[in-house]
Structure 1
Amino acid sequence: MRNLYLIAALICISHALHAQILAKDSAEVYNPDSIRAILDKRPYFTLFKDNYFIGGTTIGKKPTSKNSDVKFQLSISQRLTKSKLPFDTYLFLMYTQKAFWNVFQKSFPMRDLNFNPGIGFAHLIVRHNKYIGKAYLMFEHESNGRDSIESRSWNRVTFSGSLLLNKNWEAQIKAWIPIVDGRNNKDLVKYCGYMQLAANYRTNNHLFNAAAIVTKRGGLNFNFNTTLELSYKFNNNENQYLFLQYYNGFGENLLDYNRFHSMLRIGIVIKPQDFSAY
């Protein structure tokens, strides 16, 4: 339970910091200096990916204590520098933790915990004096902290970018060079792939969001891990959304990366100020 208290505290801190961020519409006109000024005014510590707490069950089967669970994610980042590095980049740390909790089984065991720290450079993309997206170059580690035959781990050098198509739509691409050093998951890339594509949509008032994320698995086949998400908030003064997530494919967690899952879960999510990152 100690991990849960820590997660709750960090989410509260991130939420409080998020409320202090000065919101900017992507259609506004900037120059590079004003972009840097906006960045420097933002909190150094903030949300990175979505932070959520959701529960659900397997699609197509009768819900049981064995095929139903709770999934939650904490994701934060800490900027280490101002945007004064070469190519107008800044250095940052990020940490994402994803948990799969069998709350419907006796003693509420944690099925798997996936730890994903990383360090990298980020660059705000400005074209014709308009902010149009971000680019990242990162080194990431991911493991589940177990030993023996249940140990899973890998490292990745990741390249990612997001592009604002307009004020309602954003497209993302992420590719990686995998460094698989785990003894018990040497075929991890076969199931978790080399790249992913994502599309984000949100309404003008930011009350409704939708996203689709597809990850190309290994091989030349037309095979993907797919995530679909819907979120809605009832009050624009808050940052807590009703959240629905559907996952279909392999690699949802590290322990069972080579097992197929088709899961539908519902709960709440706290989102970063910009479009969600994946």
Structure 2
Amino acid sequence: MREAAGSVQEVVQEATATTPAQREEACLREQLLVAPASITLEEMRRFCAEQVYGDPAQREERPLFGTVSEPPQEQLPGDEVRISERAQAIRDAANNPFTLASHKTNYLLPLVYNPSPNDAGLEELEALGEPVDLDHIEVQFQLSVQVPVWRGFLGQASFMSVAYTNRSFWQAYNSDDSSPFRETNHEPELIMTWLNDWSLFGWQNVANQLAVNHQSNGRSEPLSRSWNRIYANLIFERDCYSISFKPWYRIPESREEDDNPDIENYLGHFELRGRYRNGGHSLSLMVRNNLRSDNHGAVELSWGFPIGNRVRGYMKYFNGYGESLIDYDEAVQTLGFGFELAQGF
């Protein structure tokens, strides 16, 4: 494997890199794609140092960019070898199939303010004889994990994983109604990921995904909400910025079995997400829209920030449709404060 990788690497280096640091960076990116899961990042560094410098001792020690344990500090361009944090996290997860890796962002928001919760699609409860008297402040949390199940199913840079996301809306302070869960959404997925290393206008395409997705609230009629999708996810990075474009196709259902035939009009046909990370802070913007001429869609802003050595704060603002499945066709506006448990890919 080393001889084959070395021959390919020489061609890539001669065509795309001029300085030793650039050649070493190109080698590391290539090894991140093709090296076996058992090869550590440090072993890849030593291999690439030998290829570029001949004697690894001639290489000046420089920290790696984008490792999970060592976030980038204030460094000048060219002073470090840039490795995609997202690609390295995916590779680390695949290296240990018995470890649960974060999928989407995991968070706990003890304080979420919703100025009009009674208009959030729960009118059906009154028809069933259940009183609707919801608090404006509730608890919201999201737990999202993935487990790699197959590496190399379509090339050495490919991974297959299963994922599950639970998002709950809990009326924890509503003691008059026994603090019910207003809504819980379940989202299992089968995801195929390909790590990548090509660039477009200075943006590196670090990974592409194709997934089969089911989302439902696990309730019976008339409150049942669900749909099935196939989506692609194209992920790009540049310095401290990342962008992902996620279009999807809804798998059709029969008229008799479809709980929400107009859900695409509100949850849209694609999602665009951008993120900026620096100095322990992360800012994220999500825009979701449909291909129709109406204004149905959603915007979500989030900010993660350090508040201690092991704890991160988290703020999230949502405005639009589809924050939860039960109120997918109702416009809501919420602001939440709490803690970020783990960042997502």
Give the TM-score band, short-chain normalised.
Answer: 0.7 to 0.9
- What is the root-mean-square deviation of aligned Cα atoms in Å? 2.5
Do the aligned residues in 2 keep the contact of 1:189 with 1:218 (CA within 8 Å)? no
Q: Which residue of 2 aligns with 1:58?
A: 114
Residue 99 of structure 1: which of 142, 150, 168 is its match? 168
Q: Which runs of 5+ in 1 are unaligned?
A: 1-26
Between the aligned partners of 1:31 and 1:199, the Cα distance in structure 2 is: 23
Q: CA deviation at 1:86?
A: 3.4
Whether the 8 Å CA contact 2:215–2:226 is kept in 1: the answer is yes
Candidates 222, 229, 247, aligned match of 1:149: 222
Computing the radius of gyration over CA atoms, which structure comes out larger, 1 or 2? 2
Give TM-score scaled by structure 1 length: 0.78
Q: Give the Cα–Cα distance (whole angstroms) in 1 for the partners of residues 325 and 189 of structure 2.
A: 17
Q: Which residue does the alignment assign to 2:102?
A: 47
Q: Which structure has the higher relative contact order (CA within 8 Å, separation 6+)?
A: 1
Alignment: residue pair count:
240
* Cα distance between partner residues in 2 of 1:87 and 1:131: 19
CA distance in 1, matches of 2:32, 2:291: 42
Bigger proportion of residues as helix: 2
* Percent of aligned pairs sharing the same letter: 24
1:223 positional shift: 4.3
**Using a 3 Å threshold, how does the CA distance of structure 1 residues 33 and 258 change in structure 2: closer, same or farther?**
same
Deviations 1:157-208 (A, max 9, x none): 0100110022x100111010012535331111111000010110011x3x11
- Counterpart of 1:170 in structure 2 is 242
Which residue of structure 2 lines up, in the alignment, with residue 78 of structure 1?
A: 147
In structure 2, the partner of 1:4 is none
More strand by share: 1
Displacement, 1:211? Answer: 0.4
How many Å separate the matches in 2 of 1:251 and 1:218?
16
How do residues 17-32 of structure 1 correspond to structure 2 at under 5 angstroms?
Answer: 28-29=25-26, 30-32=28-30
Distance 1:50 1:188 in 2: 24
What letter corresponds to residue 92 of structure 1 in structure 2? S
Instruction: Give unmatched runs, 5+ long, in structure 2.
Output: 1-23, 42-90, 118-132
Residue deviations 1:11-63, cap 9 Å, x none? xxxxxxxxxxxxxxxx95424333344526743331111111112112599xx
- Other-structure match for 1:263: 334
Runs of 4+ in 1 over 4 A off after TM superposition: none
- TM superposition shift of 1:234: 3.1
Cα deviations by residue, 1:127-159 (Å, 9 ceiling, x for unpaired): 38x974211100000001000100011000010
> How many angstroms apart in 1 are the aligned matches of 2:137 and 2:289?
26
